[in-house]
Structure 1
């Protein structure tokens, strides 16, 4: 079975807004976000080649502190592999920063899982020892979480003035350009082996919102290391990279988190609430790029919208297969089962899952975590659409809501970003995409009209999972929504249970829609 169902019907803009839509602001601090903060400038960075280059510039401009928080971190990668001689390794780059300005502090926090593997790499171990002997650098492992939980945030903060938050780690097999060439000689890992094309997204932000991300990072640092970071004075400098065009100016940005219960810290599920609220607020189009789709609660919310008389279109761009055998067993089978359930509730044929491929028909791995609703909501962060990201792992997303006071001017930029992403995947000029979208009035119809045999988007084939895959997926063996989920009896967890819970929740909130 495939998600391809021909002739999706465009939405009629003259029809009334669906009962589930919310034309006002959806951000509510304390419920679906931590806070809403002012942002002087912001731009979306697509793919790690752009991010690594700009992150290098930003770190060189730091005067007081560089704070890096990540799921993974590899000193052996090169930030600019296209440069003559291959450029510096990340480890050498950090050392050079420390030597150039010894008073500037460089604090790096990496998830503790995999620490032993890193220490078994001679070159990495030697670099970490050199860092240890350098007073300006503090490299720590984060183990302050329940068993089975991962520290998954990807944050860079410079002087509490400039920050990056999104899905890109400074790690192996992440660097790629937006061209995603089939045989790019620069796409080589530290061991000398080539790796597949990789698509990712993050966001650079300046102003008070960067200070808020610095506060979040400092809290995480202290929890993981028991060492407080010194507070910094208010930043008055403009650290924005000269070669990065500003996409958003003078906007208000929300920050949403996930955190599991641990050592006196309460659970935080702002990210889950925000996903559900964004689905409910959609009027015309929900566009998602994500690595996984295994959350039955989010799937139920999508299915409920598609059952409405005038539902939005829902387009997902995802990898064909998860990265690694265990992830494929756990995540791919669950995605198939949820997509099939959604298809049953989709009489208007408005739900599609696409896979990006190169000109040579090689799969491009999607690691991005992006959600765009209509022209009014933009969300970029570290969270996946799986149970772990919604209740177990530590996550951080940033969101721009055009309905917030002072944000009304951002809607065209949000629309342009969606066009830019889909134009990249379809290998067409943005003007071509915009013209076809204006003609058809449908995102899925536009994609279908522009798909081709070269670099393009393939529809995901929903092949039935095998018995083992089905068992692992149905029982959420590798994708629990809390630390206790690893130890729950089989009868108290699983896709079916989460689906029923999601239906019950929607019936309480919107009984007329679910009747």
Structure 2
């Protein structure tokens, strides 16, 4: 059982924590953020991929208990008005036009002109063309931090039962949205100051000035209600960071190396939840581990979204993902491993299936290692989008942490399968035969678990695979590779198009 975490190689720092754990799905995270923010005295620093000013942090019984729904911007503005010493900083990706229909175009101006002067909002332009800032983390007073896959925006809040009919699962305009699953971690202790330093560096590069984030944490205690506590004393921080983001001359791909090291270290189990699985590096890492006949067979569970989120994702990531997961299936069969690929869904009274969209980014190995964060298992997240993950690793004698990591896996599988009674959890806790057990659940009608169809693109776009068998080149580890792939081959689809255009222009003369 070789160690996985290595500072300077696959993680930036390993920092002490007094409390740490997971908040599962939007309701638990939004509620925890609300209560932590209310206790803030000095600062709230928020970094994200997307924000929506009117997203309700509290709904239903939570809103009744608090006496408010607490829409994001008005809630933060109210805190600034009540607490003269409080400063709020919001750092958002300056999004691509591709996502323009889903964003608030004038949010920056609105915050500047219509809110308290202590509430600061800034767009952060990506360091490389076609890159995005994808880190989702919050630091409050240097004493508490949240890190994971959830943004404070529309279409994210959901409850853990993911029922078909949920009147609370609506956006501010009353429009319903699909069932949504994600993970956010929480941390109390010195690690929050390390993350504050990361935010401070990002803010300075984006704005040319240091935000006012006091180095010493504020006094007082913040009580959180965790979904899944982790008995940890330390947590590791790993990044994908382009050199321009860091303000230096080195690009960090710690998350990529972390995932490869964790896969290689696996002896019995690899459990993955992710929005995508299209990373060529991770694919090769899994193939390499499975091909080693001298090591024990693995139980490999891959929980991914049934469908790619949009047309661009379907025609780029979706096509590559289909090829990769089929390759994994063949490798598992050839080398005696057990691989199961699933998605969860609920069923309406009329029999209509409602898949739960998997947006979480989780890697768990042998019930002793767990990593959660913003990094998708695609090429962009491994290469040049900014990403942030936190990880826990149980040493051989750390039974408390190992037990809590195992409980995370069982609890998540209980949610996805819809089986949470003691007998079901006992069956889910066993590693040996896990894939066979999950597949039996997926074969039946009484479970939420489904076998993944391994087709992430709609039928009307299947023709694209004949022209571009690897999909549109928008998911590479380096931004320039996308355009190199289109242009370097004389007989490539892109090159033929350029030559045709050139010929047409010459003939038109």
Sort the TM-score into its range (normalised by shorter chain): 0.7 to 0.9
- Among candidates 110, 113, 121, match of residue 139 of structure 1: 121
Aligned counterparts of 1:286 and 1:195: Cα–Cα separation in 2 = 31
In the aligned structure 1, how far is the partner of 2:37 from the partner of 2:427?
41
Counterparts of 2:391 and 2:40, CA distance in 1: 25
Question: What residue in structure 1 maps to residue 299 of structure 2?
Answer: 313
- For residue 345 of structure 1, the aligned residue among 320, 324, 331 is 331
Match of 1:468 among 464, 467, 485: 464
Aligned partner (choices 484, 487, 501) of residue 488 of structure 1: 484
Rounded to whole Å, the distance in 1 between the matches of 2:101 and 2:211 is: 25
**Residues of 1 paired with 2:452 and 2:227: CA distance?**
34
2-side partners of 1:430 and 1:283: how far apart?
Answer: 28
Aligned equivalents of 2:469 and 2:144: distance in 1?
Answer: 40
Q: 1:220 aligns with which of 202, 218, 221?
A: 202
2:354 equivalent in structure 1: 362
1:190 Cα shift? Answer: 2.5
Instruction: Quote the RMSD (CA, aligned, Å).
Output: 2.6
1:245–1:313 Cα change, 3 Å: closer
What is residue 156 of structure 2 aligned with on the other side? Answer: 174
Partner Cα separation in structure 2 for residue 135 and residue 232 of structure 1? 18
Q: CA deviation at 1:231?
A: 4.4
1:254 to 203, 221, 236: 236
Of 250, 254, 277, the residue aligned with 1:266 is: 250
Q: CA deviation at 1:48?
A: 0.7
What are the Cα deviations for residues 354-377 of structure 1, in whole angstroms up to 9, with x where unaligned? 011013321110000011101110
- Residue of structure 2 equivalent to 1:185: 167
Residues 329/29 of structure 1: CA separation in 2 closer, same or farther (3 Å cut):
same
**Residue matched to 1:450:** 441
**Per-residue deviation, 1:239:** 3.5
TM-score normalised by structure 2 residue count? 0.86
2:498 maps to what in 1?
A: none
Residue deviations 1:460-494, cap 9 Å, x none? 1234973414655616511121122233144879x
Q: Equivalent residues in 2 for 1:296-445 (5 A)?
A: 296-309=280-293, 310-347=296-333, 348-360=336-348, 361-403=353-395, 407-429=398-420, 431-437=422-428, 441-445=432-436
Contact 2:275–2:376 (8 Å) recurs in 1: yes
2:69 to 65, 81, 87: 87
C-alpha separation between the residues in 2 aligned to 1:245 and 1:439?
22
2: CA distance, partners of 1:264 / 1:213: 18
Query: Is 1:209 aligned with 2:191?
Result: yes
Q: Is the 8 A contact 1:359 1:454 kept in 2?
A: no
* Structure 1 moving runs of 4+ over 6 Å: none
In 1: Cα distance, 2:243 partner to 2:487 partner: 23
Distance 1:204 1:365, change over 3 A: same
Instruction: After superposition, give the CA deviation of every residue in 1:118-153 in whole Å (9 maximum; x if it has no partner).
Output: 99959957852455x511111000014111000000
How many residues were matched structurally?
469
Q: Distance in 2 between matches of 1:87 and 1:146?
A: 38
SS in 1 for 2:134: coil
State the 1:304 CA deviation. 2.2
- Kept in 2: contact 1:58–1:239 (CA 8 A): no
Native 8 Å contact 1:41 1:246 kept in 2: no
Q: CA offset at residue 290 of structure 1?
A: 0.1
Q: Secondary structure at the match of 2:88?
A: strand
Tell me what 2:505 maps to.
none
Deviation at 1:324, TM superposition (A): 0.9
Change beyond 3 A, Cα 1:478–1:146: same
CA offset at residue 314 of structure 1? 0.9
Tell me if structure 2 keeps the 8 A contact 1:440–1:446: no
Q: Say if 2:44 is the partner of 1:66.
A: yes
Unaligned runs of 5+ in 2: 490-509
Unaligned runs of 5+ in 1: 1-22, 494-515
Q: TM-score, normalised by structure 1?
A: 0.85
CA contact (8 A) 1:370 1:379 kept: yes
Contact 2:232 2:392 in 1 (8 A): no
Displacement of 1:246 after TM fit?
Answer: 7.3
* CA deviation string 1:214-238 (max 9, x = no partner): 1111111111111112341322645
Report SS of the residue matched to 2:44. strand
CA distance in 2: counterparts of 1:122 and 1:113, whole angstroms: 10
Q: Secondary structure at the match of 2:406?
A: helix
CA contact (8 A) 1:329 1:473 kept: no
- 2: CA distance, partners of 1:252 / 1:277: 19
Match of residue 145, structure 2, among 163, 184, 200: 163
Q: How far apart, in 2, do the equivalents of 1:238 and 1:357 lie? A: 42
